[in-house]
Every structure is written in C-alpha cells, then in structure tokens.
Structure 1
Amino acid sequence: MRHLFLILNLLLVNATYAEIYKWIDENGKIRFSDKKPASAQVSIINVKQQNRSTRDEQPIQKILEQKKPLLFRYYNAALKTDPTIEGSVDFIIDIAPSGAVIKAKIISTQINDQKLLKEFLSVIKNVDFGAKDVKNAQVRWSVQFLSM
C-alpha cells in the first residue's frame, strides 16, 4: 500500500493539468484561451501538461566554447583596424526546446566596436544546441578578448 501511494505521488508531481476555455464569439468564431471570458458561455477543456526538465549547462557551455574560434576570427580581423580593442563581452542567451536561440543579447562589454559586437551576436544567434524535451533555457556566457 505504501508503494502504491509513493507511485501515485510521483505520477501527480510529473503531470499537471491546465484548463482551456472554448467559446463562440459574437462573430460566430470558435475561440480558445486560458482565461475565462466574462460574457460568454464556455466549455472547459482539461489539458495534461508534462513538467519538463531543464537543459544541462555543461553541454551548453561545451557548444559555446566550440564557437570561440569563430568569435576570435572576427575579433582578430577588427584588431587590424583598431589594435586597442579589448575587454570582455557578457551574453545572455535564451534557448528554445528545439535548440534554436530565441534571443541573444550583450548585457555588458568594454568593447565599443558596434560592428564587431553585431558579428558576435550573429554567431551566437545561429548556434544550434540540439532539440531536447526541456523547458526554455537561459544562460549567461562571458568571453574575454585581449589584444597582444
């Protein structure tokens, strides 16, 4: 009996239910929402949602480290124009379950070369982290660029 109780608890923890409301609007169109409309007769649809896990940070960091040579190629090209460029670049990267980058932005940097920073963002936005059955992920990543 105790084992059955434990199994049921585990199943309930891994699955939640959401209510979706269905109604016909004043134009005769069928509408769906997770918020109940004030002035309509609705049908409630229960949708089972799986609690997804999160991405492991180690594979994300490994993939980002593999992109460093490309970032440094852009950096070294920019050094030919301005040999004083140096500093760190801190990125925030949002990753979809598909592995695509949803959004990438630079949150801080000492580098003032806007063209170079756009090239860095272009590299990051095109990274494919691989599809996983996980929630959206957000990671912070920093790279240090020093001129020689």
Structure 2
Amino acid sequence: MIIAGVYHKVQPAIDIDILRDFVGADAEILVYFLGRFFETLRDGMLDMRRMHLLQQWRDTSILAHNLRTSALAIGAFQFAALCEAMEKLAVVPSVNGMTPANDPRVLLFEHIGRAFGDVEKAVSAALPGLGSVSATMPRLARNSDAF
C-alpha cells in the first residue's frame, strides 16, 4: 500500500494457498511452480530496471502487466498492485520539467523494488516448508538490492 508516497507492507508478500489452489498440494509441484513464478518475477524486474533506466515507459507498462499476472499466481498481491499502478502510470506522458527526482514513475519503481524484496524473502521462507529445492531452484537470487 502506498500512503503519502511511502510503501507500507500490510499483508503477507505471498499467499502460497493461491498457488496451491492453482497447481495442487503436491510439495514437489508447488516448489517447481513457485520457483518458476519467482524466476519470471526476478527476470522481469531486471528487464524493468533496464527499461526504467532507459526511460522506455511503454515497454515498462507492458512488462508491468505481465509481472502483475505472474505475481497474482503466487498470491503476491501487494507486488501485483504496484505493477498495476506502474502499468497505468508508465504510459502517462512526461510533463515538461519532470526529472528523475520528481517523476512519480521513478518513485513507484523504488516501491516495486522493495515489494519484490519482500516477495523474494517470502519465497525463500516458504520453500523449506514445501520440500527440497536443490534441483528445482538453482538460480534463486538474493539480489533484490539491485532493484
């Protein structure tokens, strides 16, 4: 949730029951799909960072839509809501005199990065309870600070 321009965490970063309803309760399958969805989010965040730096806002909007869809599949509702906001805000034309310091898209991107960090921590915390992840999640990144 964003209140007065500040990101506030008000609910769990992910809801594993959403994914469980989608793919079933088998721990191995849950680990696999949680890993795949997380990889999609992580790779998308890297792409969004590049687009953000290049100010490719239309592409950012399209990517934010795709990230929102993936986030909803693992119950990452806060992250999804921020992506939806970026999807809409990214296509709004820049105003003359807008700089990175006063561009709301830049601030929103920072909030998305923090929310992604929360998702990353929640995924890492959920995986031990779901089973072995050695072969399924070899690339689980711990680099959300890069966002």
TM-score (norm 2): 0.27
Higher strand fraction (1 or 2): 1
**Higher RCO structure (Cα 8 Å, ≥6 apart):** 2
Higher helix fraction (1 or 2): 2
TM-score (norm 1): 0.27
